[in-house]
């Protein structure tokens, strides 16, 4: 008897909720474990969201519960009644303790991304050292030096390139007019060249004061690595991707104020993330899903630290103000008002983004681009 194929929509939905549940659960675990470690009273740690289905057990005054909405989890601090966050025992704690608890949630998302990337590098291997020369522009220092498309540059200026490609631009800018020794891999041979950074013009007529005149990217070869090497590569890659996120965020904010062109793609909400989950699974399978999960986790780390009302960053900002005022608290009703107004604005923005996501869905536009 033939097995029935599972609809793609069903796989996407299940994968999305698994990913979202993991990300939220890890985030809330950061808040919970840090609060317990610092002696801040916690009444409940829940798996899923209320309404409550059952109490699994109770230990040291903390109820561990299972709730009906199977997405992530939550922490209910002591004295909060039926609310989930921001008052009660947490608000009564010292400012530095509150900051540690609040930072711990996003930090766990950063750690999760690092662990996923490290595990993927351990399983799949890591990019080999060096930079692949993709294109050599005519009448440039690189062309005069004898570079060819496909060369793998291993050393520049007697420095190993490794996987830190940013070294290439740094070495070029610091050594205008200086002949630099280069070691390249061309097929089975290793060749010694010499290149002198200087002015050059690309095919579109754009002039550069100093440089080489080639385009390059990561070495596409993959090599197996030990677990420590894979985890170290995962660590550096996590920070590299986070740097791109910060740059993209800065470009997006600059675009809002007309300081620079807006980045392509715009902002995506829950519907877009769910569709993107399906696209990466269809295109790249389990590995793509894990990479997507790590990227979303990194995004949560960054966004949650922004001083947006109702997010961790806003609570951290109020705690920093309290710390600067030497423990003098901001009136709770004023802080609550800021978070309430911010939450309503955030929900309004989410509605607008969701409408845009649904319109793109109906129009057939892919989340990840392409045809």
For the stretch 146-176, what's the b/e string if a residue is b when 16 or more beta carbons lie within 10 angstroms of its beta carbon? ebeeebbbbbbbeeebbbebebbeebbeebe
Q: How confident is the model over 299-316, as a mean pLDDT?
A: 87
CB 106 within 8 A of CB 27: yes
Confidence of residue 1 (pLDDT cuts 50, 70, 90): very low
User: Is the per-residue pLDDT at 133 higher than 90?
Assistant: yes
Measure the CA–CA gap between 315 and 36, rounded to whole angstroms. 19
Asked if the peptide bond before residue 51 counts as cis, ω within 30 degrees of 0, the response is yes
Least confident piece of the model among 20-29, 60-69, 204-213, 277-286:
277-286
CB 272 within 8 A of CB 367: yes
Q: Which residue has the higher pLDDT, 249 or 285?
A: 285
Least confident piece of the model among 72-86, 131-145, 151-165, 188-202:
72-86
User: Is the per-residue pLDDT at 4 higher than 50?
Assistant: no
Q: Which residue has the higher pLDDT, 179 or 203?
A: 179
Q: How confident is the model over 261-276, as a mean pLDDT?
A: 64
Q: Which residue has the higher pLDDT, 135 or 49?
A: 135
Least confident piece of the model among 35-39, 172-176, 194-198, 345-349:
345-349
User: Is the per-residue pLDDT at 35 higher than 70?
Assistant: yes
User: Is the per-residue pLDDT at 185 higher than 90?
Assistant: yes
pTM: 0.76
Measure the CA–CA gap between 21 and 17, rounded to whole angstroms. 6
User: Is the per-residue pLDDT at 355 higher than 80?
Assistant: no
Q: How confident is the model over 266-281, as a mean pLDDT?
A: 70
CA dihedral 86, 90, 91, 94 (to 10 degrees): -140
Confidence of residue 6 (pLDDT cuts 50, 70, 90): very low
pLDDT at position 270, please? 60
pLDDT at position 7, please? 46
User: What is the overall mean pLDDT for the chain?
Assistant: 83
Q: How confident is the model over 2-28, as a mean pLDDT?
A: 76
Confidence of residue 196 (pLDDT cuts 50, 70, 90): very high
pLDDT at position 346, please? 63
Least confident piece of the model among 129-138, 160-169, 263-272:
263-272
| Residue 324 CA from chain centroid, whole number | 30
């Amino acid at each position: 008897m033939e097995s029935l194929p599972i609809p793609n929509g069903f796989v996407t939905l299940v994968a999305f909720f698994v990913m979202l549940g993991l990300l939220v659960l890890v985030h809330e675990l950061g808040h919970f474990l840090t609060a317990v470690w610092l002696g801040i009273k916690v009444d409940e740690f829940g798996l899923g969201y209320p309404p409550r289905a059952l109490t699994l057990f109770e230990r040291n005054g903390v109820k561990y519960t299972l709730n009906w909405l199977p997405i992530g989890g939550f922490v209910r601090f002591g004295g909060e009644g039926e609310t989930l966050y921001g008052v009660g025992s947490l608000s009564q704690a010292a400012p530095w303790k509150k900051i540690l608890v609040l930072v711990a949630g996003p930090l766990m998302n950063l750690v999760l991304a690092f662990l996923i990337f490290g595990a993927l590098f351990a399983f799949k291997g890591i990019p080999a050292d060096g930079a692949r020369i993709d294109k050599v522009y005519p009448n440039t220092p690189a062309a005069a030096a004898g570079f060819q498309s496909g060369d793998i540059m291993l050393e520049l200026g007697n420095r190993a390139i490794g996987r830190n490609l940013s070294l290439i631009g740094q070495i070029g800018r610091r050594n205008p007019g200086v002949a630099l020794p280069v070691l390249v891999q061309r097929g089975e041979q290793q060749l010694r060249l010499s290149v002198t950074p200087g002015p050059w013009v690309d095919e579109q007529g754009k002039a550069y004061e100093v440089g080489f005149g080639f385009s390059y990217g990561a070495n596409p070869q993959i090599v197996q690595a030990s677990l420590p090497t894979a985890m170290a590569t995962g660590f550096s890659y996590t920070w590299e991707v986070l740097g791109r996120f910060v740059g993209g965020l800065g470009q997006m904010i600059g675009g809002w104020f007309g300081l620079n062109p807006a980045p392509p793609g715009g902002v995506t909400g829950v519907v877009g993330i769910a569709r993107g989950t399906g696209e990466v699974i269809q295109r790249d399978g389990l590995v793509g899903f894990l990479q997507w999960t790590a990227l979303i986790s990194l995004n949560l780390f960054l966004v949650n630290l922004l001083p947006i009302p109702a997010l961790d960053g806003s609570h951290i900002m109020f705690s920093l103000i309290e710390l600067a005022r030497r423990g003098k608290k901001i009136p709770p009703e004023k802080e609550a008002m800021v978070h309430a107004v911010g939450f309503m604005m955030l929900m309004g923005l989410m509605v607008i983004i969701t409408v845009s996501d649904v319109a793109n869905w109906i129009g057939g536009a892919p989340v990840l681009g392409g045809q």
